[in-house]
A = this chain, B = another copy of it.
Amino acid sequence: MPDKVAARLTQRDIARLAKVSQTTVSLVLNNRVEDSARIPAATRERVLKVIQETGYQADPLARRMLKQRNQILGVFTYESVFPSSSGDFYHPFLAGIEDCAEQLGCDLLLFTSAPVTQGRRRIFHENNRLRIADGCLLLGRRIPGSELSRLIAEGYPFVSVGRRDDAGGPVPYVGADYVEATSTVVERALALGHRRLAFVGPGIGAESSADRLRGFRRTAGKRAPHVTTGDRPPAEVLADLIGRRITAAFVEDRADAVALVAAAAERGIDIPADLSVIALGDPTRPASTDIDFTGFHVPRREMGLRATELLEAVLSGRAGTETQQLIPCELVEGSTLSEPKGL
């Protein structure tokens, strides 16, 4: 008989079948047992029986009309969530988010409907659907400050995965402590005797870039050289480093580091004997990763998990929670850092 989609059962239907009122059905369902709501066992069972038989499920949307919470956490990514490239940067974050969401009994809403304009998604567009979710997690290398400040202004609960600069107010985030991690590996290089260090990578733009450069400068010195990659071929970057007689290169993106090592192999430059290469994190672009780089890993999974926890804390109004958290990176001994040759 269900020619079209079967008509959805409502509490009214259940009420009719059990010969009670919709109110009673609701009371039974919510197990309300106060003075104001007394349901004798007999009636309760009768209602429950009908619910059982029909397989009735309360419409979650109607519920949220009255309650505040919806048990849905939004996930907004500024690039495609599931990139076709195998070098999947988002994946570990999502794994952590999923883990936590599962424990919280929340569903995850991926805002795939946000139109991509100028290569990136925008939260705020004509028909934004942010409010379906109770709150939202933000992922992406760069997030426009304008969107962050609007979220803050609207009082929409969100947590950024990755540190963000203030945007008309402090942005809640769970980030990785790139400053500290970078500083530590630079220290290690200094201890080994390196004196000519260089930072390789953008170093500006995203907060994550700036933090690495900051950590580098903090320990390597204010005037330590900064070699940008941009669109330059790796061979050229390498030549630049050699020309400046650099002995240790701190490369922001592991993918760049891989390319640099390949270029070195081609020129017969030994790594780490001639040049130490330190990877300041994980590849944001696909890169074969069989090289055992010295450097650190970004605790992506844990960041996702902790960010979700923080969002939950924000949503349940738990005061006193630190809304800006940094997680230490996992240092990797690796084999691409050694004493400089001339020592």
Chain A residues proximal to chain B, CB less than 8 Å: 2, 4-6, 8, 55, 57-62, 64-65, 70-72, 80-84, 88, 91, 94-95, 97-99, 101-102, 105-113, 115-116, 124, 127-132, 150, 154-157, 301, 317
Complex: A128 Cα to B60 Cα, angstroms = 8
Q: Is the CB of A130 within 8 A of B65?
A: no
Q: Which of B58, B65, B105, B128 contacts A61 (CB 8 A)?
A: B65
Q: For residue A58, which residues in chain B have a CB less than 8 angstroms away from its CB?
A: 127
Instruction: Specify which chain B residues have a CB less than 8 angstroms from the CB of A124 in the assembled complex.
Output: 55
B109 near A113 with CB under 8 A, answer no
Nearest CB in chain B to that of A59: its residue:
B131
A132 CA / B63 CA spacing, docked (Å): 11
A128 in complex: contacting residue of B5, B57, B64, B81, CB < 8 Å: B57
B101 touches A112 (CB 8 A): yes
Distance from A92 Cβ to chain B, minimum over Cβ atoms (Å): 8
Q: How many copies does the complex hold?
A: 2
Q: How far is the CA of A25 from the CA of B82 in the complex (A)?
A: 38
Checking B107, B154, B155 against A132 with a beta-carbon cut-off of 8 angstroms, the contacting residue is B107
- Min Cβ gap A238→B in Å is 27
Could you say which residues of chain B place their CB within 8 Å of the CB of A131? 8, 57, 59-61
Rounded to whole Å, the gap between the CB of A78 and the closest CB of chain B is: 13
Q: Are B110 and A110 in contact (CB under 8 A)?
A: yes
Residue of B5, B57, B112, B130 touching A130 (CB-CB under 8 A): B57
- Beyond A4-B317, A101-B110, 17 extra complex contacts between A and B, CB < 8 Å: A5-B156, A55-B154, A57-B127, A61-B64, A61-B70, A61-B131, A81-B94, A82-B94, A82-B98, A83-B95, A105-B113, A105-B115, A106-B112, A106-B113, A107-B132, A109-B110, A110-B110
Whether A5 contacts B157 in the complex (CB less than 8 A), given A95-B84, A112-B101, comes out as yes
Q: Which residues of B contact A4 (CB under 8 A)?
A: 155, 317
